[in-house]
Amino acid sequence: MEAKESLNPPKESEKKRVLLVDDDAEVLEATRLALTAHGYDVTVARDGSQGLALAERNPPDLLILDMMMPKRSGFLVLETLRQFERKPTRIIMVTANEGNRHREYAQQLGVDEYIRKPFSMDTLLDAVARVMKK
């Protein structure tokens, strides 16, 4: 597994910033704890509108974005970000949706990884490590 904890954790100023946007409180908290334990500086948003506002105000190094959420879907967040961002944000989209049409659209919008729920935390941490190396 690539996402192993380091013996020398990064300094606060060196930590990669991750914005985690999901409306499922259990997924949000478990993912936040795992990412924090692996040395990432994690900010959370509980819906798409809050996630978009946070991403626009302080662009993260990585955005982990649920597809289906209240107020604003992950696709609407991603479409808006792609219109206005100067440097493309790295994105991991997570979804319970089984359709390939959604995966294809996410790829058209420049998603780096697409993970179907339920997922193991190791799967997500491996994807985060891969995306952060890009």
Q: Domains in the chain, start-ordered, CATH in brackets?
A: 15-133 (3.40.50.2300)
Model-level pTM greater than 0.85? yes
Burial of residue 35, with CB atoms counted within 10 A of its CB: 0-12 exposed, 13-18 middle, 19 or more buried = buried
pLDDT for the residue numbered 40? 96
- pLDDT tens for the chain, 134 residues: list them: 444 444 455 565 578 999 999 999 999 999 999 999 999 999 999 999 999 999 999 999 999 999 999 889 999 999 999 888 778 899 999 999 888 999 999 999 999 999 999 999 999 999 999 999 98
Could you tell me the two tokens for 111? 């998603």
> DSSP label at 6?
P
